[in-house]
Amino acid sequence: MKTRHLLKRIVFLGLLVAGCAAGAPERWNASYEPQVFEGMPFRVMKPLGFDSKKSYPVIVSLHGAGGKGTNNDKQLKDWNKQLAEKQRRKDFPCYVVAPQAAGLWNAEHLKKIKALIKGLPSVDMDRIYVMGHSMGGHGTYIFIQLDPGYFAAAAPSAGSGRRTSGKFINPATIKDLPIWAFHGDKDGICPIAKDREVLAELKKLGGMMKLTTWAGDNHAVSGKMIVGAENGTTETSGDRCDKEPDFMTWLFKQKR
């Protein structure tokens, strides 16, 4: 009886430990320190091994509609997890600034983001990058048109296809900015057709846009921006584009 009781207790404790492990919060998001700046929620990841004598680029990360709110947590997405991986942080030391918006990204949001970045120590102001998916990809296009001279590069995912009236992208304003866009060719939420239109216009203007199309994929492609995938095909707007195939290497090469 004692042996049977002991075995039951061991099994119970094993299940309890496994259950706790499964329900434990992921530790990667602790790398992003929460703060509220001018009433706007932010999560900020500092460079690993910060050295005040160095200067660091900044990646502005814009969430999609699923991240909207004020809880200062939902804006952290799969690409934020990838950016928080230790080896990637060693290879590409930088700030990652992840603001949270309650609605579509706009000029007031950009103003607050720029003010927060201005107050960060040891920032390389010639290497401010912006990226995002869905509403965040749309926001990326909005931000680089509001202030194209502020950013060194942009990476919108599933961005330009948001169903809006009129033409919200003016390619002439962004033709001299390095852009690497990503889109699933079966995206039914933000159709790829408008991203292709932007690429076609920038080809005419001699722009600097790359477009990677994920064959057979729908809207959920945000986890592929950084790490890539075998089903991607990349087109460019012309010879001015940097042909570097690795996203992070390409991004960190770009300067104003």
Instruction: Write down the pLDDT at residue 165.
Output: 42
Report yes or no: 160 and 194 within 8 Å, Cβ to Cβ.
yes
Going along 55-178, which residue ranges are E strands?
A: 56-62, 95-99, 123-133, 153-157
pLDDT of residue 169: 81
pLDDT value of position 180 = 98
Phi-psi group of 173: left, alpha or beta (phi > 0 → left; psi -120 to 50 → alpha; rest → beta): alpha
Decide if pLDDT at 205 tops 60. yes
> Residue 170: its pLDDT value, please?
86
Q: Which residue has the higher pLDDT, 160 or 255?
A: 255
Q: Which domains does the chain have, with CATH numbers?
A: 32-253 (3.40.50.1820)
> Average pLDDT of the chain?
90
Q: State the pLDDT at residue 167.
A: 56
Higher pLDDT residue, 101 or 17? 101
pLDDT tens for residues 181-197? 999 999 999 999 989 99
pLDDT at 26: 62
pTM metric for this prediction: 0.88
Query: pLDDT tens digits for 107-125?
Result: 999 999 999 999 999 999 9
- Number of Cβ within 10 Å of residue 189's Cβ equals 15
Question: Which tens digits make up the pLDDT trace of 26-62?
Answer: 689 999 999 999 999 999 999 999 999 999 999 999 9
Nearest CA to 75 out of 32, 116, 120, 22 is that of 32
Quote the pLDDT of residue 9: 52
Tell me what pLDDT residue 216 has.
Answer: 98
- 120-156 tens-digit pLDDT: 999 999 999 999 999 999 999 999 999 999 999 999 9
- CA geometry: angle at 137 spanning 133 and 141, to 5°? 170
- 162 pLDDT tier (thresholds 50, 70, 90): very low
User: Measuring CA to CA, which residue among 120, 133, 126, 186 is closest to residue 160?
Assistant: 133
Whether the per-residue pLDDT at 17 is higher than 60: the answer is: no
SS3 category, 161: coil
